[in-house]
Every structure is written in structure tokens, then in C-alpha cells.
Structure 1
Amino acid sequence: MDQMELAQKIDAYLEDNWEAMVGDIETLVRIPSFEELDKKAEGAPFGPGPKQALTAALELASDMGFETHDAEGYIGFADFPGASETQIGIIGHMDVVPAGPGWTFEPYAVTRKEGYLVGRGTLDDKGPSVVALHAVKFWKDQGVEFPYTVRFLFGANEESGMADVAYYHKHYDDPAFLFTPDAEFPVCYGEKGGFDGVISSKPLQECARVIVSFEGGAATNAVPGIAHAVVKASASVLPNTDRITVSEAGEGLARLEASGKGAHASMPDEGVNAIGLIVDYLLEQGLCSADERAFLELDQKLLNHTDGSGVGIATSDEYFGPLTVVGGTIKLEDDRFVQTLDSRFPTSITADEITDRLRKLTDEIGGTFERTLLMEPFLVEPDSPVIQALLNAYNEATGEDAKPFTMGGGTYAREFKSGASFGPEKPWVENPEWVGMMHGPDEAVSEELLKQSFKIYVLTLDKLMKLDLQ
């Protein structure tokens, strides 16, 4: 069909099916599908929530007429068979990060407000996945036979290790090309390396501690917007600040509440780290013992310098720009401070170099450092036919003349032999102040953005099917 006819059919599909698409998103958002390894079981390796969401997604695809398969709860897929077994893949994830504190809406429901869908997963990644699945259904409803098979993969462990994809690689071949609707438009052809770790202090003698408790953050891969600590001090002599609120917490105890600003770990400059606010306050007010101070001073170097300069890992390269690092969560556990960190690193430094430099710093205070996650940087040539197909679909749908880019976020794309992350976010579009970001409270996505994403994904499938991928 010509482009005018195709555009009319896309508009008609949206008109007839948008409310059903919102309903499908709500079906998935209602499921609190964060990892709970203590509740894992056979067929549910990441806990009951991810398994339930995976099952629900496969049921949606089955009801659309696709051939579906649940791969032992690790991952699932729905196939739209083509004339050949060569596959074009799309992959979204059904797991989410925990809701965390600070919500003003019900996190596990879809609330519609001023043209936005609010709820955990509406943006990351249940909403975009539903829209992309409907883009495949659009072509199925046209009665076409594509030259290649479309395989839509539903992951269940993207947020906490990607063991779902590791399982898939052991049992199935990669698609010839794959994209994931789990990032930003126009199209990302490369992703920084991903590095997670844990800094632990030396054991702290309880009798000598000033800090009774310290907790902040909901996920390693996010700038925490909220944190709190309880200290042995009189609340009446401690000042409030513009972001720290002090209150009584019992006899001889004061509670410190920090209000920062949440952000994704790949864009730390958009956030204000609430853990860092508490650390700064504790040091400024002298609310720490000598051993606590040693840890807090190291933590301050980490938290207050998102380019890594505070801990000696600052670097950049021509493709990805500067390294970033954030401290995502903190807690007191077994008489130790435990601080998690997330770094997105370019090709100008190695994971071993990052580990060595951090371990040297923790050794100096009698603490420990452990690397918990590593994803090497990946890059697909920006002028390759597959990347250009995605870019052209985006520009055709939007009327823009956008260029491809690299980013610090880590998506499924990096796990496959040929892939890209592809929408739906447009960070240059300003949302209302009440609209939350992915991984933060009040996560939300514009309905118009999702509708435009649907059009882009429909056009993308058409363009990819015209390439020689054999």
C-alpha cells in the first residue's frame, strides 16, 4: 500500500483500538512484578510478580492470535510467522523496579490525568511494550505475509540482571536484528558499559555509633529522591535546611528526612541525591563517630561527583562522552553501612580499572568493595541499514530530521548480536511538574507519545521487512 493509505490505516487502528491498548497496559501495570528471589519457584525464577506479568503478557499476545511460548518463566515470546524463519525481534520487559516511597497516585494501577497514564511500568516498560505489540498486530490484521518472522520477546528480569536473556541465549538463536522500545527516540546505536557494585564499611561497634539507622533509595540504578536517618542527638538543636527536615524520634534521638529529586542513573545530573544530602548534613553537624566519619567521607566523594572524579574514575571517549556514577541505595546491615553504586562507563576505562580504584579506597577505611554487575559497552554502526531504517521511520512519522545517538542507559539491545534501543521517550519535551520519571514515584507517560510511538513502530516493521537480512 502507498504511504497515504498506510497513514490512514494507522490512524483508523488507533481510533478503533486505543482504549483497548490502554486496557492492556492496565492489565500489566496492576501486577507488582518486581524481583523477589526469596519467593522464586520452579517456572518462576524471579519470583511470583515477574511470572504473573509474563503470563499476562503472553495471554494478551495469544488473544491477538500470535503463537506464544513461556520459556520456564525466564522469558516468553510471541511469533508472527513470515515467509522465512529469519527473525526480526522486538523485546520489552514485564518486570519493574519496586514502587518505593513518595507516590501520590496508586503505583500498581493506571490513573489517567491530563492526557497521561500514571503507574509503575507505564513508561518502563509495560506501556511501550503493549504499543509495540499492537504494531505487530496491526500488520497481522492487514493480512500480510512478511518475508521475515517477527518474534516479540517478553523479558522478566531486565531491571535486576538480565538473567532472562542469558537463559534465552542458551536455548535459542538471536534474531537477525532486534530493537527494544525501552529508551529514547530517535534511535540509540550504542550504550555505555554498565557497572554495579557495593561499598561496605568496616564493622561498627554499636556502643560507639552515633547513627542508629540510615536508609535511602529503592534501586541501585536510580538517583534516590528520598532518604532518612536516625541519630543520637537532640532534634531541638539541629537546624532544618531547604531539603532536610529534623524531627524527634524518641528520647535522645533525632530523625533526618531528606527530600532530593529522583532520576535515572544514566542521567544523574537531572537528580538530587537524597542519600548525599543526609551524608553532607551528618558531616557538617558532626553527627558521627570516627569510624562512621571515615565511611561518610568516602561516601561523600562518591555521591557528590557524578562524573566519578571524587573516587578517581572520571574519564570520557568520543562515542559516549563522560563516565557517570551514582549511589543508589544505602542501609545499615549487620553493623555495617552498605552503599550500592551504579556506573555507566565509556570505552576509555575498563571494569577492572574501576574495581581496582574503588577497592583501594575501601581498603583505606577497612571496608570492602564488591562488583555485582558488569555489562561491556556495545556499538552498532550508525550508518548501517537497520539503524537507518529505524531512523527513517521516526523521521517520517514526526517530520523531524533527527540523528542517531549513544547513551548511558543499559537495555536489552546490548545483549544481542545486532540491536538498538528505540523510543519512546523524548527527553527534550517538557512534561508537567507532577509527572514522574521511570524508576521514580508517579511514573507517567503521555498518551500522545504512545500513540506516535505506535505509528513509528508500524512504519519501522514495514521498512525492516524491505532489507536483505538473510
Structure 2
Amino acid sequence: MEHAELTKKIDAYLEENWDAMVGDITTLVRIPSFEELDKKAEGAPFGPGPKAALTAALDLADSMGFTTHDAEGYIGFADFPGKSETQLGIIGHMDVVPAGPGWTYQPYEVTRKDGYLMGRGTLDDKGPSVMALHAMKFWKDQGVEFPYTIRFLFGANEESGMADVAYYHEHYEDPAFLFTPDAEFPVCYGEKGGFDGTITSKPIEECARVIVEFEGGAATNAVPGIAHAVVKAEAKELPNTDRITVTEAGPGLARLEAAGKGAHASTPDEGINAIGLLVDYLLEQGLCGTDERAFLELDQKLLNHTDGGGVGIKTEDEYFGPLTVIGGTIALKDNCFVQTLDSRFPTSITGDDIMERVGSLVGEVGGTFENTLLMVPFLVKPDSPVIQALLNAYNEATGEDAKPFTMGGGTYAREFKSGASFGPEKPWVKNPEWVGMMHGPDEGVSEDLLKQSFKIYALTLDKLMQLDLK
């Protein structure tokens, strides 16, 4: 089919089906599909919400004429058979994070306002998944028989550990190539490795400590925006700073509250680490004993150098650029300081290297270092035919001359032998202030962005089918 004729047919499909496509998104958004393990049951391993959303997605695919299968509630799929059993995969997820507080709109309903769809999952990932599924239906409606089978995978546990994909790998072969509409355009061809660890100081009895409490951060994978400590000192003798407030916490005790700026661990330069602010303050004001100082000086090396230079793991490569590392949470447990860290690393270092170098420094102050999560870097070369097919489809649909990129975050793509994350977000396009981000209140997405995503995915399927995927 000639390009002009194809784009005309894609536009016609959109015009004829757009309201129905929004209705399909609405059907899925109405299901509060967050994980509830205390309510799990046979056939619903992640609770009733993910199961209901998975069922609704499979029903939708079935109504389009695709062959569907529910794999015991872990994951489901819809097949568009081709001339061969070689599969091209698409994977989206039907689970969401809980709504949480702060919503202006109904979280589990689609509200259409000024060209935007508001509701939990409209962006992550029900809206984009519906676009990709309709791109598959578009080609089915054309009556074509592709050389490869398209398998659309509906995940049910992306937000809480990806046990859905683990189950799939135990029972099925990977597609030859797969993309997920759950990140950013133009196309992400690689994801940094991930290393989470826990530094635990040697026990320091309270009688030998100046620090009575130390707590900060909510997650290992986020730059903490707030932290506090309680120390044995007179509050009136300690100075406030632009980011640290000192108040009395009882006789001979002072409470220090640090106000940083939160950010994702993959983009630490966008944040200000509140734990790091407190560590600097405690050292500057001498609010620590000998053993505490040894730990704090080590922690300072970690927290003040997000490129890893402070703890000997600074490195970069041609695909991913520099390593990043942050300290996500800190707490006092059983007389020990416990600091978690998150590193996103390129191909020029390994998890074993990180373990050895950081572990050596921790050992010098009598502490222990544990690796709690390890993911190797995921990479499909940017000049590979599959990545170029996605990129060309994007550029044709948008008229841009965009280039592929890598990122520090993680998606379904890295869980398969060959894959990419592919839209729909465009971080350089700013939404109105009343439109929230994924995982936050008032999550929303532009209808125009979803329409363009559909066009891109429809073009992409055509281009991928012209490749040798065997």
C-alpha cells in the first residue's frame, strides 16, 4: 500500500472510531486495577482489580475478532495470526497505581476536558494500550495477512514487580521483537542497569551517639525531598539555613528538618537530596560522635556525588552516558544507620564492580553492604533494523527528524530478549497545569497525542512486517 493511501486510511479509521476508542479507554479506567495481594485468589494472583481489568481487555480484543487467552490471571494475550508462527509482540499493562489523594476529577472515570482525557490509567498505560490494540485492529480490518503473527500481551503486574512477565517466560517463548507503549517518544532502545543496595553501619549504642533519630525518604528509587533528625543539642544554639529548620524536641534535644527537592532516581540532577542536606549539616556543626562521623563521612561521599565519583564507581559509555547513584532512604534501626542506594549504570561497569568498590569503603568503617536488586543493562543497537523501523514510523507520522535515546528507568521492554519502549509521552510538550502526570493526582493525556500515537503504531506494524525477524 502506498504511503499516501495508507495515511488516508489511518486518518479515516480515526475519524470513524475515535469516540469508540475513548469508550474503550473509559471501560478500562473505570476498573480500579491496583494490586491487592490480601485479596488474591485462584485466577486472580494480584487481586480482583487487575483480574477485572485483564478480563475487560481480553473481552475488548475478543470483540475485535482476535484469538484471546487468559494465562491464569497473571497475564493475557490476543493473537492476530500471520503466515508464520514467528511473533511480533506488543505489551501494555492493565494494572495501575492506587489513586491516592489530591484528585480534582474522578480517578476511576474518564473526564473529557479541553482536548484531554483525565483519569487513572489514561496515560499509564490503559490509554496507550488501547491505541496500540486499535492499530492492530486497523490492519485486521484491511484484510491483510502479515508474514508474522502479532501477539498483544496484556500485563497485570507491571506496577508491582512484573510477576506477570515472569509467569509468561515460564510458559511461553519470547516474541522475535516487542515494543511497549509505556514510556516516551521517539523510541528508547536501551535501559541502564539497575543496582539497589543497603549500607548498614556497625552498631553504635545510644549512649555513644549524638544522633537520636534520623529518618528520610520514602523509596529507594527516589531522591528524598524531606528528612529529619533529632540530636542531643540545644536548639537555640544551632543555626537555621535556607533548607534546614531547627526546633526544640524536648530537654536537651533539637529537631532538624531538611527540605530538599524530590526527583526520580534516574534523573538525580533534578532533585536536592534532603538526607544529604542533613548529613552535611551534622558534620559541619559537629553533631556526631566518632563512629557516627565515620559513617556520615562515607554517606556524604555517596550523597554528594550523583555520578558515583565519591564512592569510586564513576563511569560512562557511548550508549547510556554517565552512571547515576542516589541515597533514597535512611533510618536508625537496632542502633545502626541504614542507608539505601539506587544506581543506574551503563555497560562500562557491572553489578559486581559496584558491590566490590562500595563494599570496600563500607567495610573500612565497620559496616556491611548488601545488594538488594540487580538488573543488567538492556540494549538493542540504535542502528538495528527494528529500532530504525520504529523511528522511521515516528518521523513519518510527525514530520520530525528525531533520534533514538536511552534512559535510566525500566519498562517491560528489558524483560524480553529484544524490545523497545515506544511512546506515547513527549516530555518536551508541556500540558496545562491542571493535567497531572502518571502516578499522580489528575493523571491525564492529550487526545491529540493519543491520536498521533495510533497513527505511529499503525505505521510501525507495517514497517516491522517488512523486516526479516526470524
Q: Distance in 2 between matches of 1:443 and 1:290?
A: 48
SS in structure 2 at match of 1:85 = coil
Identity %: 82
TM-fit CA distance, 1:449 = 2.2
- The aligned counterpart of 1:376 is 376
TM-fit CA distance, 1:137 = 2.6
Deviates more, 1:354-363 or 1:394-403: 354-363
Aligned residue type for 1:231: V
Deviations, residues 304-335 of structure 1 (Å, cap 9, x unaligned): 22211122111011222111122334445555
Aligned residue type for 1:214: E
- The aligned counterpart of 1:201 is 201
Q: Distance in 2 between matches of 1:107 and 1:285?
A: 48
Matches within 5 A, 1:124-163: 124-163=124-163
Q: Distance in 2 between matches of 1:251 and 1:24?
A: 61
SS in structure 2 at match of 1:68 = strand
TM-fit CA distance, 1:220 = 3.1
Name the CA shift for 1:128/1:260 in 2 (closer, same or farther; >3 Å). Answer: farther
Q: Distance in 2 between matches of 1:74 and 1:287?
A: 51
Whether the 8 Å CA contact 1:215–1:332 is kept in 2: the answer is no
Whether the 8 Å CA contact 1:94–1:126 is kept in 2: the answer is yes
Name the CA shift for 1:448/1:354 in 2 (closer, same or farther; >3 Å). Answer: same
TM-fit CA distance, 1:213 = 5.4
- The aligned counterpart of 1:349 is 349
* Pair 1:214 & 2:208 matched: no
Q: Distance in 1 between matches of 2:172 and 2:337?
A: 42
Deviations, residues 81-132 of structure 1 (Å, cap 9, x unaligned): 233322110012334456678x565694456665444555443433322322
Q: Distance in 2 between matches of 1:435 and 1:284?
A: 42
- The aligned counterpart of 1:229 is 228
- The aligned counterpart of 1:79 is 79
- The aligned counterpart of 1:395 is 395
Name the CA shift for 1:386/1:255 in 2 (closer, same or farther; >3 Å). Answer: same
Q: Distance in 1 between matches of 2:360 and 2:106?
A: 41
Deviates more, 1:163-172 or 1:60-69: 60-69
Deviates more, 1:36-45 or 1:134-143: 36-45
Aligned residue type for 1:8: K
* Pair 1:412 & 2:408 matched: no
SS in structure 2 at match of 1:325 = strand
Q: Distance in 2 between matches of 1:135 and 1:97?
A: 26
TM-fit CA distance, 1:398 = 0.5
Name the CA shift for 1:25/1:469 in 2 (closer, same or farther; >3 Å). Answer: same
Whether the 8 Å CA contact 1:211–1:229 is kept in 2: the answer is no
Q: Distance in 1 between matches of 2:81 and 2:10?
A: 21
TM-fit CA distance, 1:24 = 4.2
TM, length-normalised to structure 2: 0.84
Name the CA shift for 1:349/1:35 in 2 (closer, same or farther; >3 Å). Answer: farther
Q: Distance in 1 between matches of 2:371 and 2:60?
A: 38
Whether the 8 Å CA contact 1:31–1:108 is kept in 2: the answer is no
Whether the 8 Å CA contact 1:234–1:252 is kept in 2: the answer is yes
Name the CA shift for 1:402/1:76 in 2 (closer, same or farther; >3 Å). Answer: same
SS in structure 1 at match of 2:196 = strand
Matches within 5 A, 1:37-116: 41-46=41-46, 49-96=49-96, 103=102, 105=104, 108-109=107-108, 115-116=115-116
- The aligned counterpart of 1:172 is 172
Whether the 8 Å CA contact 1:228–1:255 is kept in 2: the answer is no
Q: Distance in 1 between matches of 2:298 and 2:104?
A: 36
Rg comparison, structure with higher value: 2
- The aligned counterpart of 1:449 is 449
Aligned residue type for 2:377: P
Deviates more, 1:25-34 or 1:444-453: 25-34
Aligned residue type for 2:384: S
Aligned residue type for 2:452: Q
Matches within 5 A, 1:419-430: 419-430=419-430
TM-fit CA distance, 1:397 = 0.1
SS in structure 1 at match of 2:175 = coil
SS in structure 2 at match of 1:175 = coil
Whether the 8 Å CA contact 1:89–1:150 is kept in 2: the answer is yes
TM, length-normalised to structure 1: 0.84
Q: Distance in 2 between matches of 1:22 and 1:337?
A: 50
SS in structure 2 at match of 1:366 = coil
User: Is there any run of 5+ residues in structure 2 with no aligned partner, and where?
Assistant: none
Whether the 8 Å CA contact 1:312–1:357 is kept in 2: the answer is yes
C-alpha RMSD over aligned residues: 3.5
Q: Distance in 1 between matches of 2:238 and 2:26?
A: 45
Whether the 8 Å CA contact 2:214–2:330 is kept in 1: the answer is no
Q: Distance in 2 between matches of 1:204 and 1:235?
A: 23
Deviations, residues 181-228 of structure 1 (Å, cap 9, x unaligned): 1222222222222222223334454564634352423x433334x334
Q: Distance in 2 between matches of 1:119 and 1:275?
A: 34
TM-fit CA distance, 1:257 = 5.3
Name the CA shift for 1:310/1:394 in 2 (closer, same or farther; >3 Å). Answer: same
Whether the 8 Å CA contact 2:217–2:223 is kept in 1: the answer is no
Name the CA shift for 1:295/1:404 in 2 (closer, same or farther; >3 Å). Answer: same
Aligned residue type for 1:74: Y
Whether the 8 Å CA contact 1:70–1:77 is kept in 2: the answer is yes
